[in-house]
Amino acid sequence: MLAALTVSVFVVGTSEYLIAGLLPQVADDLGVSVATAGQAVTAYALGVVIGGPAVTILTVRLPRKGLAIGLLLLFAAGNAICALAPSYEMLLAGRVVASLSHAAFLTLAMLLTTQSVAPERTGTAIATVASGFAVATLLGVPVGVLIGDGAGWRAPFAVLTGLALAATLLLALVLPRQEARETRVRDEVRTVTRRPVLLVIATTSLVMAAVATVFTYLAPTLTRISGFGTTAVSVLLLVYGAGSLLGGLIAGRLADRSLGATVRGTIAALSGVLALVPLAAGWKASAVVVVLAFGLLASTTTPTMQSLLLKHAGSAPTLAVAVNVCAFNIGIATGSMAGGVMVAAGGLRWLGLAAAVLGLGALALTSMTEGLFGHRSDLNFGTRSLIIEAGRHE
């Protein structure tokens, strides 16, 4: 089951940034500017942030297997609309339709994952499923762009539609039938408004903003500051992606052993590496080292923060997980925007310092999260009640 969920997360994850590499083709074909075509990325992000929690709360009482299949079919339909879109407006519509399933499906995948393993393996299981997203960044998007270059920008969306349908069939075969827990909407809302949950969500957003501030402009940093050629930059980005995949899996295992220490340690280490970027970027050898370290730490947020959120969400975690998924996207958008402002002002080399400040802010928030520094930070405490509660309603 975990393998099927990982594959499905890979398919959904590929969609978010796929169009970013196809913007010139989309603009030429649909008769719009590249800047206008780029709003298809924004439309998807807005659909995730706004529509994700709404879809999640509306479907919280539906059987889990049927919901997973339905969300993937909605995702497939959105990408089919993109592949066939006769106009820019229809392309936007397809992107929004696909985005509505994004947060809700990732939320469901995380919850199904935690309910299928023993409490002491929750962090590892979340990291395994989340690795589908890392692989999407590492391979899915570049391969999609290659397909688009050879067969036109519509082809990757057609392929993604086919993959979504195949993933739907796979889930239909392997997911066990499971009724939704008898949770009430007001319980879900009350969970989201708890102080520890809000702090975890805010921490997630700050950490992702720190990562995005540097990563969004990593390529120009490596070419303009470090002096690498475009081919070398492509290789370094693959190194970053491979490190990101490995780092997430390692963080998941560490979270199972000591969640609080892993959260604090990874955020502190990430902040330190980001602070070194301006110095390390001046030499090629040190730039390679810092890119690898950055990759190893950048993806540790997913398993650690999702595990921490589940610890505090108790028996009504669905909406909280969905909002936390949205927090990832909000953080990415915020970091990219902040980085853009600095780059426009000539501060490309100093992005790491700004990102480190954001990271330290996230570290400060973790100290305010109830129970993080006490014995209750052990993951088993939080997830055991969640899984026991889930079992009562299956």
> What is the DSSP code string of 175-219?
SPP-PPP---HHHHHHHHTSHHHHHHHHHHHHHHHHHHHHHTTHH
CA distances from 97 to 93, 144, 169, 196, 391 (A): 6, 20, 20, 32, 33
pLDDT given for residue 389 in this prediction: 41
Asked if residue 250 and residue 288 are part of one domain, the reply reads yes
Q: How far apart are alpha carbons 136 and 18 in whole angstroms?
A: 9
Could you tell me which of 332, 134, 328 has the C-alpha nearest to residue 246?
A: 134
CATH number, domain of 142, equals: 1.20.1250.20
301, 363 Cβ separation under 8 angstroms: no
Could you tell me which of 251, 275, 253, 277 has the C-alpha nearest to residue 265?
A: 251
The total of structural domains in the chain comes to 2
In a domain, 244, yes or no: yes
| Distance in angstroms between the alpha carbons of the first and the last residue of the chain | 17
What letter would DSSP give residue 350?
A: G
Residue 274 belongs to what H/E stretch?
helix 259-280
Q: How far apart are alpha carbons 24 and 45 in whole angstroms?
A: 20
In a domain, 180, yes or no: no
Among 142, 174, 206, the domain boundary falls at 174
pLDDT given for residue 179 in this prediction: 65
pLDDT given for residue 241 in this prediction: 82
pLDDT given for residue 381 in this prediction: 37
Q: How far apart are alpha carbons 62 and 73 in whole angstroms?
A: 16
How many Cβ atoms are within 10 Å of 146's Cβ, its own excluded? 12
Asked if residue 308 and residue 202 are part of one domain, the reply reads yes
CA angle, corner 66, sides to 305 and 56, nearest 5? 40
Q: How far apart are alpha carbons 141 and 135 in whole angstroms?
A: 9
* Domain, as residue range, for 121: 2-174
- Token pair for residue 336? 């990219």
Asked if residue 216 and residue 112 are part of one domain, the reply reads no
pLDDT given for residue 258 in this prediction: 87
Among 155, 174, 193, the domain boundary falls at 174
pLDDT given for residue 118 in this prediction: 72
Among 174, 193, 218, the domain boundary falls at 174
- Please return the burial class of 161, using the count of CB atoms within 10 Å of its CB with bins 0-12, 13-18 and 19+: buried
- Mean pLDDT per block of 10 residues along the chain (394 residues) reads 85 80 83 81 82 83 87 95 94 92 86 75 80 76 78 92 94 80 75 88 93 87 89 83 87 88 93 95 94 90 84 78 85 85 90 95 82 44 40 40
pLDDT given for residue 92 in this prediction: 92
Asked if residue 123 and residue 223 are part of one domain, the reply reads no
248, 371 Cβ separation under 8 angstroms: no
